[in-house]
């Protein structure tokens, strides 16, 4: 909770960009049928690490993933070193349905 308060302040101080909370902050559910291989998702978590990446790169995101359909199933493919998923290190693919639940 404190990171959701302090990290936007860090970004504003360092880059002059001001994060604003959406009026409806319910997780966005994108229908799997609308997602194609190669679709890109730019992600920001208020975890501190993403904010360091934002400051260093000048971006408003701290993580990138790509959708990829393989054998009839939709996956999210990414390279990461975080605690968000069962596979914690390296290049990985996670089923979209699992990713969507964990990303919320």
Domain boundaries of the chain, sorted by first residue: 2-16+34-103
What's the angle, vertex CA 104, arms to CA 47 and CA 9, rounded to 5? Answer: 30
Helices 2-15 and 49-57: crossing angle in degrees, nearest 10, is 10
Residue 69 pairs in a beta bridge with 74
**Least confident residue range of 40-44, 65-69, 92-96, 98-102:** 98-102
Residue bearing tokens 């975890």: 47
Backbone angles phi, psi at 84, to 5 degrees: -75, -25
**pLDDT of 36:** 96
pLDDT digits 0-9 by tens, 43-63: 898 888 899 999 999 999 998
H or E element that contains 4: helix 2-15
Mean pLDDT of all residues in 7-36: 91
């Amino acid at each position: 909770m404190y990171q959701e308060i302090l990290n936007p302040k860090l970004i504003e101080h360092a880059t002059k960009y001001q994060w604003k909370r959406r009026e409806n902050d319910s997780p966005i559910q994108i229908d799997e049928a609308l997602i194609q291989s190669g679709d890109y998702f730019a992600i920001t978590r208020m975890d501190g690490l993403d904010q360091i990446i934002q400051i260093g790169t000048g971006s408003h995101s701290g993580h990138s993933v790509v959708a990829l359909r393989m054998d009839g199933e939709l996956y999210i493919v990414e390279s990461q070193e975080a605690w968000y998923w069962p596979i914690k290190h390296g290049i990985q693919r996670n089923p979209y349905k699992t990713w969507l639940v964990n990303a919320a």
